[in-house]
Every structure is written in C-alpha cells, then in structure tokens.
C-alpha cells in the first residue's frame, strides 16, 4: 500500500492533468493531447486511490468498476455524435450519483465512530476513514457533517439537472437514456 503523502501528491498531479485536459479541449488542434491528459489523470487518480492507505474491499471495488464501465459504455453507445450534450448530461448524472454515495458513506462512518465513542469503545476496531474520523475534534466533526450535507445535496441535484439539460437539448433526450 502507498503512503498518504504519496497519494496526496498523486491527487494533485491528477488534478493538474484534468485542468490541462479541460483547457486543451477548447482548441481543436490541442484536443487529442487534451484527451490523453484526461485519460492519464483518471488512471493516476484511480490507481493511487485504490492502493492508498486503509483501502480494502477489492472484492467489491473491481465488480463495481466493471458495472460502472458497462453502464457508461451502454449509455455512450446509444448517443450519436450529434447528440454530445445528451451524452455529457447522462454521464454527469453518474458523477452526481457517485457524490451521493461518497457523502452517504462518510456519514455512515461518522455515525459509527460517534456511537462507539459514546460507548467508550477502543479505537483499535477502526480502520481507514473511520480511524481518521475518530481522531477529529468536535468542530472538525461538525465541518464533516456540513461537507456530507452539501455533498449529498449537490450530488442529488446533479442527476436531475443533467436529465433536464438532456431533455432540453433534444426532444428525444429520454430515448437516448432509455427512460421513455
């Protein structure tokens, strides 16, 4: 497993690659290179997150990544090149759903740690994110709760907005997603 400092540095590198990717997509001559920046940035982000400290449950992670890839491929295959706004809206819905799941998991871990602390249980049973939460001060836990609420709110709003955008771009937007 990789150390937290190394994972943080890789996250910054992946962020820079994503920014370069977005910046290059505005110019047709640089678009091909920009796409590769995005691909490499995503590969770096996934690799260093998957092999970061306290990560486990690979028996869950690999099948979920495969299911997500198949769902994204299925949606992408149904969209013609002239319907790119619909594809972006559909895939943006997946991002919003992922934000909801990440925030929900953070809240479940926060509640588990608070319940164990109320019972004065030892910290030895915590691993990964829960171990970090167990070391936080009450004001940090309040800030985490605010992050969770905002993450769930923004993530829950995103699929609805993406679907609305998809329908506004084309009267057949729901057909593209297979929802009609």
Q: What is the pLDDT of residues 26-51, one digit of tens each?
A: 888 888 899 999 999 999 998 988 88
| pLDDT for 49 | 84
Q: What total number of domains does the chain contain?
A: 2
| Same structural domain, 5 and 78 | no
Higher pLDDT, 103 or 91: 103
Residues 168 and 91 in one domain: yes
- Position 158 confidence tier, pLDDT thresholds 50, 70, 90: low
What is the per-residue pLDDT for 140?
A: 86
Question: CA of 152: how far to CAs of 4, 161, 163, in Å?
Answer: 25, 14, 17
127 plus 173 within the same structural domain: yes
Range with lowest mean pLDDT among 69-78, 85-94, 164-173: 164-173
Among 108, 74, 105, 107, CA closest to 91:
74
State whether 70 and 157 are in the same domain.
yes
Q: At what angle do helices 4-24 and 31-50 cross, to 10 degrees?
A: 160
pLDDT band for position 12 (cuts 50, 70, 90): very high
Query: Residue 87: which domain range?
Result: 56-180
CB-CB contact of 109 with 130 (8 Å): yes
The stretch 100-105 carries a mean pLDDT of 84
Give yes or no: residues 35 and 74 share one domain.
Answer: no
- pTM of the predicted structure, to 2 decimals: 0.59
If asked whether residues 37 and 79 sit together in one domain, one would say: no
Asked whether the beta carbons of 14 and 41 are under 8 A apart, the reply is yes
């Amino acid at each position: 497993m990789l150390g937290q400092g190394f994972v943080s540095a890789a996250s910054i590198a992946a962020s820079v690659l994503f920014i370069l990717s977005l910046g290059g997509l505005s110019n047709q001559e640089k678009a091909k290179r920009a796409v590769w920046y995005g691909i490499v940035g995503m590969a770096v982000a996934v690799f260093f997150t998957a092999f970061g400290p306290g990560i486990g449950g690979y028996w869950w992670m690999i099948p979920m990544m495969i299911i997500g890839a198949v769902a994204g491929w299925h949606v992408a295959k149904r969209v013609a090149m002239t319907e790119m706004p619909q594809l972006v809206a559909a895939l943006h819905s997946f991002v919003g759903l992922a934000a909801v799941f990440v925030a929900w998991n953070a809240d479940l871990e926060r509640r588990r740690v608070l319940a164990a602390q109320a019972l004065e249980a030892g910290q030895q049973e915590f691993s990964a994110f829960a171990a970090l939460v167990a070391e936080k001060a009450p004001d940090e836990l309040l800030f985490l709760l605010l992050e969770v609420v905002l993450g769930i709110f923004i993530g829950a709003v995103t699929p609805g907005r993406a679907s609305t955008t998809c329908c506004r771009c084309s009267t057949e937007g729901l057909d593209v997603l297979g929802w009609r």
